[in-house]
Chains A and B, each alone.
Chain A
């Protein structure tokens, strides 16, 4: 391993690539790659455990079913292993893996376009309507323009703790357009930080926040009617 790497912060230096392969990576990622290349099964399994589900969720926006998404992710893992020898570490390992995944998913999605159910192709149009539980006053309201006409009903906290909440969240995330689904999956389910998500999906921070916000708004909305306290 090149000595320059241990001086710290090498991963921000623009010319660090000259220090040798993988020198741009964080020490953790570099170790992962080295272990994988040497055929370490435990490292591979822990990478699978950490990322497989997120990959399936991210792939589902492009294909017709969870079963097909599983196949796409299998394909992506093979692609990742095949690419590993040539991986230069210009971006974090996870981000690189997700780029491969999204390429596989897009290719498969293109082949299967006709079999994708209509709901998966839905775009932003319905957004306004889906906030129907609450409503705002019109912009020309004399006293409170744009303020709540009917505010959100209080949620019963115990409902959110229920398994049913997760079923509803999952179903709503599956209905989101692919880009919103990928962002909310990585940010809110998998707890990635925003820089890494931008890197993996090739989007700007601002764009990422817009997609995340739309996705969260819809998921909150999907819970709203159901989670509200029932008044006796």
Chain B
């Protein structure tokens, strides 16, 4: 068991969760007090001693599920007990084998049996969801994985592939619609009964009830999805062992998610992480400004105070520090490929705008527009970022990135306003669709502004490949920074202020 824990801690560290030696000891101590067979209790107690931040919980959970997964014969991928000749048999045979075993092992007669038709399975799924029957949902998930995922032992495919295959066959959106229409018609039936029997007011599904019902079903479907995911993972663990799998399923911490390739769920996690991050960054910067440096020597004050010590300047006085706050100009590409990255950066910069004397933001695709006005007198940058998407006027010709044109227009219209106090941040992957680069604008900007930085959300290896011309701009910038994750972004902005 201790070996398992050590391996588990190693995996957590590999996933980026800092686990100190004391915490490891605590976890080992904790395991003595908790019944090992109570899996949920074990998960929470280990979590309490190993994971010290809620943002890390998701990564922890995944690792836990893998390392302490339920193991047993029913989770083997090749369901047939005979094993050896299994791989040659066709799919149908395998599914039957699995189905039979489940029927025996779990005593779920309705679900098991000699393999169900897809219609029966769909029907069962529908009933399970309608009745909110947890055990049944779990059974359906198992069946669905067996039937649709087409898992093969030893096949080096990620879990997401199997998940996709299973979900595609289940058509959950369709199921949701069916559930809703069923609910509607059942109220209508009730309504008919009532109107025939008495003078009761007609019962209809109000929009409020409808909304609640939809959320209810959606929650159940999410539960099913999680169940399917668990099932697939369990089988993969049984097939490949925990360590190999942990590596392939490792979920990045929110601050390490690659913004450009984030999935929808990851984007939600990112948005959640961004708010506390910007708040912490603002506190840190304010503190740095308050303490830290002292101003230059205040000669007059020093001499005056030295009179009490007979003219010996024992206690030198310093001027109150007034570090100048930089002025920030953000020019961001918001075309499809880098849109989410631009949004996060704008959000972060404006959230800590009190740390800058002025923040101006511009967005472009092939046209360019100033969006600072959206952020004025708004407490929460989220709304403003939303409005940028809908209201900013950034299309000039065809809505494909044209850095050259955007920069030229910027120079003509706002170039005068760049002063030696401004730091200019350029955001984008510099994929210019083979338009002219107009790099001279950056050169001019560099001559006027205090600094010009380029933040590129692409991995450094991809720079200057294909239509990326970041190199042409880079020669005129103070620095070009690879900025793919919130951690990198936070670091950059922190250094800037």
Verify that A and B bind, or say they do not: no
B residues within 8 Å of A by Cβ?
Answer: none
A residues within 8 Å of B by Cβ?
Answer: none
